[in-house]
Amino acid sequence: MTTPHDQAHLDRRRRRWIQRLLWLLAALLLAFLAWGFVWEPAQLVERDYAIDLPHWSPQCDGLRVDLVADLHTGSPRNGVDKLDHVVQRLIASDSDVVLLAGDYVILKVLLGRYVAPEVVAEHLKPLTARKPVYAVLGNHDWWKNGPKVRRALESAGVVVLENRAQRVTLGRCRLWLVGVGDLWEGHPDIVRAFADVGADATPVIAITHNPELFAQMPARASLVVAGHTHGGQVWLLPGLPSKRGRHYLAGKFVEDGRHLFVTPGIGTSILPFRFRVPPEISRLTLHAAR
């Protein structure tokens, strides 16, 4: 039989355990917030991906492409110093070409500071002096004056492909790069973008900002690359972020024989928070499917 003294002792032990549990939960929450708001947004990883593609010529086998999106320069822990770090890593890479998939500036992000596109472009000049750089605009760029962002990028030597294609020679590899306008704000015109692309065997890489356009891309595109999603910014499931419902978050996708790659990007929007989706330079090695 439990005496009043025994019951009081049990109650004290229960309260101590509850207090310890609450302290543990508070510590975990604090660590989670510090990780997401402070530590992870300041990181930069370089991940390698090998992609086997149909309609890919032997002359382009092994082509190295660095893909970056959503620079969002000015978001917290992501100022021009971080942009300089990204640029230096891209210069040091053995890639043949750099593709930029939009959103160079920010519209609104908690505790962020707007950085003008002219400043962003100035810090991209060391990269364009060393490698060919091709780009499209994103929804944030259009919200902050798309033509102004485009002029700034082009003044720094970036080739902006908005609803148009350009034939490119990279070493022995000849291919088409096709830029398609942003789904939300860029007035995408896929027919116009692919108008100059012939029906021969020359491989095609299509660049756009929002991966939701993937379903509308023609089979002529050997590979579609995009950004916009930030990988969801937060990923609590095992492994790397992939797909949420019908939305492409990050990584490689193959549907009906067509190929898409979505990079998780560099900066943040709305909330300056990343958890298990660190800022990333995606390094693609492209092979002919065997």
DSSP 109: B
Residue 72 identity (one-letter amino acid) = H
128, 89 contact by CB (below 8 A): no
What pLDDT, on a 0 to 100 scale, did the predictor assign at position 200? 86
In which element (H, E) is residue 286 found? strand 280-288
- Looking at the whole model, is its pTM more than 0.85? yes
Instruction: Identify whether the C-beta of residue 183 lies closer than 8 Å to the C-beta of residue 213.
Output: yes
Q: What is the CATH number of domain 45-288?
A: 3.60.21.10
Locate the domains of the chain by residue range: 1-42, 45-288
Residue 15 is encoded by which pair of tokens? 């309260």
Q: Which residue has the tokens 């790659």?
A: 261
Q: Output the pLDDT for position 2.
A: 65
DSSP codes of every residue in 44-101: -EEEEEEEEESS--GGGTTEEEEEE----BTBTTBSHHHHHHHHHHHHHS--SEEEE-
Question: Tens of pLDDT along the chain (290 residues)?
Answer: 567 766 676 777 888 888 888 898 888 888 889 989 999 999 999 999 999 998 899 999 999 999 999 999 999 999 999 999 999 999 999 999 999 999 999 988 888 999 999 999 999 999 999 999 999 999 999 999 999 999 999 999 999 999 999 999 999 999 999 999 999 999 999 999 999 998 888 999 999 999 999 999 999 999 999 999 999 999 988 887 888 777 899 999 999 989 999 999 999 999 999 999 999 999 999 999 87
pLDDT at residue 109, rounded to an integer = 87
Mean pLDDT of the chain: 94
The answer to whether 188 touches 163, Cβ cutoff 8 Å, is: yes
Question: What angle in degrees, to the nearest 10, is found between the helix axes of 117-128 and 80-92?
Answer: 20
